Amino acid sequence: MVRFLRGRGHQVRAGLRSRRRAEEVAGLGAETVVADVTADAEDLVEALAGSEVVINAIGAPDPDQASVDLVDRDGVITAIRAAEKAGVSRFVQLSAQFADSPDQGDRLVRSILMAKQISDSVLRRSSLNWTIVRPGTLTDDQPTGHVKIAGHLEPGRVSRADVAAVLVATLEEPLVENQGFDVIGGEIPIPTALASFS
């Protein structure tokens, strides 16, 4: 994500839950700050202060229900409220396919989808200019730069790198402001797919 943002000329402040990865991320040209959504909310406001946009890509480190609720539900809501308080204008949320209809998703991840559904709903009702990106099953495949985007899609797979590129590209496409959409691997170049979203 940092590489894509820097490649588009953005100044990047990367929020990390701990300092362990700070050196690696700083080496990509980003300022690093500790921004733990499960810790003190006021610290998070301070970490976000001065930022124009938040791209939220956090997720629970394991599928345990308590961890999912702590991070994907409550932690994201804390980040949304902190962004509002910090004067952030835009919030791009990495969600998951079927988070808007958990009962249609895979039973194995339904608790995660339900947690994301709640935090996504809070974002939609917030004062922020928002975009919710709901990727299909994530893979470690090489990026293609091509995807399929729509309000709702059949289950599919998409590389993490292509999802990162989509998240960054939303910043330059007004048509996806205050919109949520699914994204899976496809044949359409990312900027074209976003520009044709309706």
DSSP string, the chain: -HHHHHHTT---EEEESSSTTHHHHHTTT-EEEE--TTS-HHHHHHHHTT-SEEEE----SS--HHHHIIIIIIIHHHHHHHHHHHT--EEEEE--TTTTSGGGS-GGGHHHHHHHHHHHHHHHTSSSEEEEEEE-EEE-PPP-SEEEEESS--S-EEEHHHHHHHHHHGGG-GGGTTEEEEEEE-SEEHHHHHHT--
How many Å apart are CA 124 and CA 145, to the nearest integer?
A: 28
pLDDT at 21: 74
120, pLDDT greater than 80: yes
170, pLDDT greater than 80: yes
pLDDT at 3: 84
Region 103-107: mean pLDDT is: 87
Q: What is the pLDDT of residues 14-72, one digit of tens each?
A: 888 777 777 777 788 888 888 889 888 888 999 999 999 999 999 888 888 999 999 99
Structural domains in the chain, CATH included, are 35-196 (3.40.50.720)
Residue 181's pLDDT band (cuts 50, 70, 90): very high
Of 17, 12, 37, whose CA–CA distance to 27 is shortest?
12
Give the chain's mean pLDDT: 93
Instruction: Identify the bridge partners of residue 53 per DSSP, sorted by sequence position.
Output: 90
How many Å apart are CA 154 and CA 183, to the nearest integer?
A: 10
Instruction: Identify the bridge partners of residue 13 per DSSP, sorted by sequence position.
Output: 31
Close Cβ partners of 174 (under 8 Å, ≥ 6 residues apart):
none
Burial of residue 20 (number of CB atoms within 10 Å: 0-12, 13-18, 19+): exposed
Region 131-155: mean pLDDT is: 97
This prediction has a pTM of 0.94
- In this structure, what is the dihedral angle of CA atoms 32, 34, 38, 41, given to the nearest 10 degrees? -100
109, pLDDT greater than 90: no
Letter for the amino acid at 42?
E
pLDDT at 1: 84
Contact (Cβ atoms closer than 8 angstroms) between residue 91 and residue 129? yes
